[in-house]
Amino acid sequence: MSKLNIIDQGLGSYIIDGDLTFASIDKQTLKSFAFLSSAKEISIDLSKVNNTDSAGLALMIEWIKYSRQHRLHLSFKNIPEQLITLAKLSGFDKNSHLAIYIA
């Protein structure tokens, strides 16, 4: 397991490094949405995510909900195939908050 790190690249750009799994997402991560308020446009690069599961998908959906509630523009880059597959299996690619991020 690789610890989850949210790395600030400046100007609203972040890299997620590590795993997006039940084991790596702790209560602190779930409560820490402050990084999403750093700018009106937030970009999250997922290219350094090693492993993911449904907890990772749920966290992304929570980030999307938060950004919509606070009128922020959120975009994801380099979404791992594993997350895209989970989104499609869950139906989030067709009729939910994540639909605009899954191609």
The SS3 call for residue 101 is: coil
Q: What is the pLDDT of residue 100?
A: 57
Q: What percent of the chain has pLDDT over 70?
A: 84
Which is more confident, 100 or 75?
75
Of the listed ranges 30-34, 36-40, 48-52, 59-63, the one predicted with least confidence: 30-34
Kindly report the pTM of this predicted structure: 0.85
DSSP β-bridge partners for residue 14: 8, 44
Q: Which amino acid is at 15?
A: I
Q: How many residues does the chain have?
A: 103
Most confident of 3-7, 47-51, 90-94: 47-51
| DSSP-assigned letter for residue 17 | E
DSSP β-bridge partners for residue 49: 18
- Distance (Å, rounded) from C-alpha 4 to C-alpha 23? 9
Q: What is the pLDDT of residue 103?
A: 43
Ordered by where they begin, the domains of the chain are 5-100 (3.30.750.24)
* CB neighbour list of residue 12: distance below 8 Å, 6 or more residues apart: 38, 39, 40, 41, 42, 43
Least Cα distance to 17 among 41, 59, 45 occurs for: 45
